Structure 1
Amino acid sequence: MIGVVGWKKDLYDTVVALSVPFFFTSTGYLVFGSLLVPYECVFNQNKLKRQINKFLKTYLLWSFIYLPLAIYGFVVVEKCGIVKALVLYIRNILLQGQNYFSYPLWYLLAALYASMAFYFVVKKGFPKKDVFLAIIVSFIATKGTNFLIESQDSLQGTLKTAAFLLQKTIADGRVFSGIYAMLIGALIRKYKEKIDLIGKQYLILCFIVLFTTDVFFDNTFLRVAVCVSFFCWIQSLKFKFVKAECGLYLRRLSAVLFYTHMIFFFIFGMLVGKEPAYGLTGFIVSLVAAIVFGIFVNREKKINNGIIRFLFG
């Protein structure tokens, strides 16, 4: 029987777990929706190449912006030598997607890898066999890596060595998670008409049942099903009250929040002398600061500024 505290934590974990897969799924859904038939045509390939290039440029740009914090982390916090710090920095950039206080950037690296996989599948004509194979392989890679690393102490021989190497390189399997989530989003878009025939009321009922079950019986496959059912329901809704201008404003605001909140969090921690300043206060301060900055960036006189567009799209 789950206690009150345990129940609340499981509920919280289940809600939070929807966020990242939802964004990956959204990316796959929206990108696939803008592709032409036949899928392997040059237009689609060029479009996906531009997307890969965009993720790469954005990832490198914000990794550079966060470089001073990475240096601070290596020198002040971890007290690394120059050679070790350089090796770790390169490893983190290529394989983990994060350095000190730039933790959210792993999403961009995962999105970059996912876009590459998406490109190769589309280049082959988006055959269902290859799509499902890519989903299965990337899912196993994600969960299998996590399992090996978490079970490292109980493993022996080759598996123990493999787990050790994985821990020292990619650290966990989340860099692969964008692949299966993005491809699932593409499949949802491809079969949107058939999914919509199910009806919004049944889609939300399916989500509620799966979500409630997941709260009490946490399961890896069930968690994916919860995300898929939630996204299927969301995409079936028609938000006619949201104007295009409002959507663009919120999109820019969300980008500012994503890229800058850890900078404000770091500054707050330095000011109060408790870095990192984990806790409700640090969360609220960094959130409010990022929102205020986002509102400033979204001002009419600023929104089309070249630097602003370069940083936040």
Structure 2
Amino acid sequence: MSTQGINNKVNFEGLDLFKFFIAFLVVAIHVIPKSDSPDLLNSLFQTILNTAVPFFFMTTGYLLEMKIERSTQNNKNTYLLFLINSLKLYVIWSILYLPLTIYGLITNDEFNIKGILYAFKNFLFKGENYFSWPLWYLLTMVYFGFILILSDKFKVKLLYMFFIIYFLYVALLVNITYFSHIEIFHKLNHYINTTFGGLRMLFGFIIILLGMQIRKNKIYFSPKISLLILFVSLCLSTFSTSILLSHFYFIQAFCLFQLALNIQFHEIVSNNFFRRSSTIIFLTHMYVYFIVLNVTNTNFNSPLAIYYIVCVGLLIMSILINWKFSSNRFVNAIFR
């Protein structure tokens, strides 16, 4: 392990660059239908896609810990500020996605009291309504803010919190995998899926805490070691069981993160472009996807072609926003 040249860096060019490209993998998760084909290439492709969101969570945790280290305030105030900022961002983007939520309710004949209450329940617990799937990431950060405040209030170290959440995640994962045929466990699994969208928020908490521990304990691997672990993990994950699979996502996100931290380059394009563009792509791609589907009347039966169109649209939008609205306060607030 090596910490030289990383620990004291202020601008993380590699993180910004990796986030930019990995944001397009997040787009692929939602645009390219998941294939159930058992072939090796498909398994490898799905594994790579499922590493994308963990990378974003790990980056969030790492940068949060860095902010805590540099803050002149106590941890409680830093945690509270993180919660408030996350909540603001989630509410703003939920409002921005509200037209699509209403559209979904109308087209599904659910624009009634029951449908509206169900959408509101999703807003509170799931972070997902019609074509607003990226919002669960923001809701996870909101709930994580509460976890930080509770851990501080009850003096629980974040490392202990990591293990508590991890063991809860594994217990529920075992339950889903092996005991869902038992009625009481089946009902529990159904409740977790319909209310929280599965175990993804617990998964997010674990990755954020892992990112914080990387920064706090200066856990840095060389590029060669990271590449070796990544290669082995990708090979093993293609033959893995469902319980082990998510653990390989941890490992792969960790290795990509280590590679990103080791990248240094002379700026050809401003880091701010990559940083803001990754956020633009992550948070707006479902809107662009929705527009593309409706413009093509959903008869464009090539998911890969639609993916390319969506990506080009997102890239053009990112360039325009960075070029024309870089000093706009609202734009800077929602694409921080």
TM range (shorter): 0.7 to 0.9
Moved more, 102-111 or 245-254: 245-254
Tell me, in whole angstroms, the C-alpha distance in 2 between the residues paired with 1:245 and 1:45: 37
CA gap 1:275/1:104 in 2 versus in 1, 3 angstroms: farther
Q: Match for 1:49: what amino acid?
A: L
Give the conservation status (yes or no) of the 8 Å contact 2:175–2:185.
Answer: no
The match for 1:110 is 140
Secondary structure of 1:98's aligned partner = coil
In structure 1, C-alpha distance between the alignment counterparts of 2:317 and 2:60, rounded to whole Å: 25
1:170 aligns with 2:200: no
Q: Which runs of 5+ in 2 are unaligned?
A: 1-36
Match of 1:292 in 2: 316
Residue identity matched to 1:201: K
* 2:110 matches 1:84: no
- The structural deviation recorded for 1:99 is 0.7
CA distance in 1: counterparts of 2:142 and 2:174, whole angstroms: 21
- Measured against aligned partners, the alpha-carbon deviations of 1:248-302 in whole angstroms (never above 9, x if no partner) come to 1111111111222211211122222228977122212221111111100101x42
Q: Which deviates more from structure 2 when the two are superposed, residues 106-115 or residues 215-224?
A: 215-224
2:137 aligned with 1:137, yes or no? no
Match of 2:224 in 1: 201
Unaligned runs of 5+ in 1: none
1:65 pairs, out of 81, 93, 96, with 96
- 1:220 alignment partner in structure 2: 243
CA contact under 8 A between 1:110 and 1:177: conserved in structure 2? no
Higher relative contact order (CA 8 A, sep 6+): 2
CA distance in 2, matches of 1:250, 1:19: 16
Native 8 Å contact 1:145 1:166 kept in 2 = no
Residues 59, 284 of structure 1: alpha-carbon distance in 2 compared, 3 angstrom cutoff: same
Q: Partners in 2 of 1:244 and 1:292 — Cα distance?
A: 18
Cα distance, 1:305 vs structure 2? 1.2
Letter matched to residue 221 of structure 1: L
Count of aligned pairs:
298
Label 1:224 to 1:165 Cα distance change in 2 as closer, same or farther (>3 A): closer
Instruction: Give the 3-state SS of the residue equivalent to 1:100 in structure 2.
Output: coil
Moved more, 114-123 or 261-270: 114-123
TM-score (norm 1): 0.83
Instruction: Tell me how far 1:159 sits from its aligned partner.
Output: 2.2
SS at match of 2:84: helix
What is the deviation of 1:224? 2.1
Q: Which residue of 1 aligns with 2:86?
A: 55
Aligned match for 1:31, one of 49, 56, 64: 64
Let me know the Cα RMSD of the aligned residues: 2.9
Q: 2:123, 2:314 → 1: CA distance?
A: 24
CA contact 1:266–1:275 (8 Å) conserved in 2: no
Equivalent residues in 2 for 1:186-265, closer than 5 Å: 186-192=212-218, 195-196=219-220, 199-221=222-244, 223-228=246-251, 230-232=253-255, 234-235=257-258, 237-243=261-267, 246-265=270-289
1:160 equivalent in structure 2:
186
